[in-house]
Amino acid sequence: MESNKLKVKNIKFTKTTRYRQLPYHLMMLPGMIFLIIFHIVPMGGLIMAFQNYIPIKGLIHSDFVGLKNFQRLFRLPTFWSVLRNTIIISVGKLVLVTIVAITFAILLNECRNVKFKRLVQTTVYLPHFLSWVILAVMFSNIFSYSGIINQLGGLFGKEPVMFMISNSWFRRILIGGEVWKEFGYSAIVYVAAMTGIDPTLYEAAGIDGANRLKKILYITLPSIVPTIVLMTTLNMGKILSGGFDQVFNLYSPLVYRTGDIIDTYVYRMGLVDLQYSNGTAVGLFKSLISFILLIAAYKIADKTVGYRVF
Amino acid sequence: MKRKKIKISDVLIYAFLLFCGLICLIPIINTVAISFSDRTSAAMGAVKLWPVNFTLMSYKNMMKETQFWTSFLVSVKRVIIGVFLNMVLSVLMAYPLSKSPIKFRSKKIYMWTVVFTMLFSGGLVPTFMVINHLRLMDTFWALVLPGAVPVFNIIILMNFFKALPESLEESAYVDGAGPWTVLLKIYLPLSKASLATISLFAIVNHWNAYFDGKIYINSLNRLPLQTYIQSLAASINTNMMASMTAEEIQEQLAVSSLTFNSAKVIVSMIPILLIYPFLQRYFVSGMVVGAVKE
């Protein structure tokens, strides 16, 4: 330890290393300018959340109202229903995507035919790369009154449903849609974790008379538990997100009651109804909670599975 | 001793995987089928996985629609310029950030700034106002400049650079090379797979973006493709539905250009479908590096 420190000091003070710092700063410069203008400066705009912001008065001359915007917000029944929707939708997505992705990864791992495996993998990754704008058109095709889903239901004697405008169905479609789009892509990490499992474990279990199911339950699953813990914790920061692109492209005023999430609420309040201060207040509330959750998640990930981003 | 038997478990596994694959393709196939069907059959819901009364009508109509192609070109331009900018900045930032604090003393400050902007943001309204103040509103640059620094991609590339053996760099320094030479002549040629991964992410990201086009762009000749498609879909859904009865909505959906929109969606998917097979062997490693690498 002691000798290491000495070494570090010596390197620090050699002329060449100091001289080499300059190119590094130059490399960082253009990117930092963009970050400062488009990411750091807007953080200053968060002051609006504590003001009664009036565009002609500007950010500096508008009156400060303290936490009044937040107090008003927390009294709004819509705010609480929006928060509730967001959490239900996010948690539903998080849990179901994980379960389906793990199941898929395990069965893919059991498949011995390499070509077939490749083919399936290529198809299940595809939806991840399509935008919700495009998928929304596809969804409204298949879920429409006379669409393929209702026709399928008709075969089993079910009455056709107006899925996209039904408050009882909308959340399920959001969650199901996310599972459909992302399960393949999420499975990549689990598949990668499974390739790292020592094959002798399976051989030994086979000699002990374990069948396929038992090998999955007692070798494959426990081996990927750290990865599951990691992915779940890292997703905690998204709990107040709910997937803006998806909801925004699929919802309509008819399903605001069950489908409106914080991000869509901010958009309508801030940029459509032009209530800048209120919109910013909701946005700040979300950013702050998400930030805390994310930091906590990184800490937990670091403690439990030794994960560090940098 | 061992004879190849068809096991039930194998059959179940193959069936499940096949089902997963098919389920991902069915909405796409259905939309392709609708785009090649005639209007009435599509509106009645007669189209399933194969076109009914095959016609190229909607594609012919699309050829004539100038707005679609204007927007298509805007998106192409956006991808070319936007991805170029993303890649240059990612490489430039990932390299110094991959150095240890011993070699690059201010690294930690930079790293924290970069990560902080990823984790915390001013949110929608303040960002909108900054763009407005900079007079970027309704310009092409509002689409590429705000997202010029793709932090997640930088972290992937940074982790890749970190994994390269340090002796490579040391020996280059001994031979008199500086950081710029090391980056351009040694690091870049060695990281083709990583660069392919993050460029795929950047391409997809720019091609699929619609929201910035929606809030920053008013002129039709600067409207990106996804924003244009979004406006078509939204014009039937959101605005009218609120004041309509179920029957009216159904009627509206029936007369709306279902086949036409489906054709537009299919054509807008083509660029993604073209690049995807070439780059997909890379992104698996990129994704794993980004997510589980320490």
Burial of A170 (0-12, 13-18, 19+ CB in 10 A): buried
Q: How far apart are the two ends of chain A, measured CA to CA in Å? A: 22
Chain A residues within 8 A of B126 when measuring between CB atoms: 42-46, 48, 280, 283
Pairing of strands A63-64, A51-52: antiparallel
Query: What confidence tier does B231 reach under pLDDT thresholds 50, 70, 90?
Result: confident
B90 to chain A, closest Cα gap in Å: 8
A216 to chain B, closest Cα gap in Å: 12
Q: What is the DSSP letter of B105?
A: T
CB atoms A127 and B269 under 8 Å: no
Task: Kindly state the helix (H) or strand (E) to which residue A64 belongs, with its residue range.
Answer: strand A63-64
Q: Which two tokens stand for residue B54?
A: 């095959």
**A15-35 and B107-119 helices, crossing angle to 10°:** 20
The per-residue pLDDT for B202 is 93
A50 to chain B, any CB pair closer than 8 A? The answer is no
**For range A35-57, the mean pLDDT:** 90
Higher confidence at residue B183 or residue B233?
B183
Give residues 175 to 214 of A whose Cβ lies within 8 Å of B.
180, 183-185, 188-189, 192-193, 212-213
Give percent above pLDDT 70 in chain A.
Answer: 93
Chain B residues within 8 A of A271 when measuring between CB atoms: 124-125, 128, 215
B155 to chain A, closest Cα gap in Å: 8
Disruptive mutation site among B44, B91, B125 for chain A (greatest number of A CBs within 10 Å): B125
Dihedral Cα A175, A177, A180, A186, nearest 10 deg: -60
| Residues in Cβ contact with A20 at an 8 Å cutoff, skipping those fewer than 6 apart | B103, B178, B179
CB atoms A144 and B45 under 8 Å: yes
CB atoms A133 and B210 under 8 Å: yes
CA pair distance A215, B238, nearest whole angstrom: 51
CB atoms B45 and A230 under 8 Å: no
Query: What confidence tier does A303 reach under pLDDT thresholds 50, 70, 90?
Result: confident
Query: What confidence tier does B286 reach under pLDDT thresholds 50, 70, 90?
Result: low
The per-residue pLDDT for A40 is 94
In tens, the pLDDT along B85-131 reads 999 999 999 999 999 888 888 899 999 999 899 888 888 999 999 99
Q: How far apart are the two ends of chain B, measured CA to CA in Å? A: 46
Task: Kindly state the helix (H) or strand (E) to which residue A52 belongs, with its residue range.
Answer: strand A51-52
Q: What interface predicted TM-score (ipTM) does this complex get?
A: 0.86
**If we measure between CA atoms, which residue out of B120, B74, B229, B228 comes closest to residue A237?**
B120
In tens, the pLDDT along B170-199 reads 889 888 888 899 999 999 999 888 898 899
Disruptive mutation site among A4, A17, A133 for chain B (greatest number of B CBs within 10 Å): A133
The per-residue pLDDT for B56 is 87
Q: What is the DSSP letter of B163?
A: H
Could you tell me which chain B residue has the CA closest to the CA of A310?
B294
CB atoms A111 and B14 under 8 Å: yes
Give pTM, 2 decimals. 0.87
| Residues B218 and A274 sit within 8 Å (Cβ to Cβ) | no
Chain B residues within 8 A of A35 when measuring between CB atoms: 113-114, 117, 149
**If we measure between CA atoms, which residue out of A130, A195, A277, A235 comes closest to residue B284?**
A195
The most confident of A149-153, A220-224, B9-13, B103-107, by mean pLDDT: A220-224
Between chain A and chain B, how many beta carbons pairs sit less than 8 Å apart?
A: 291
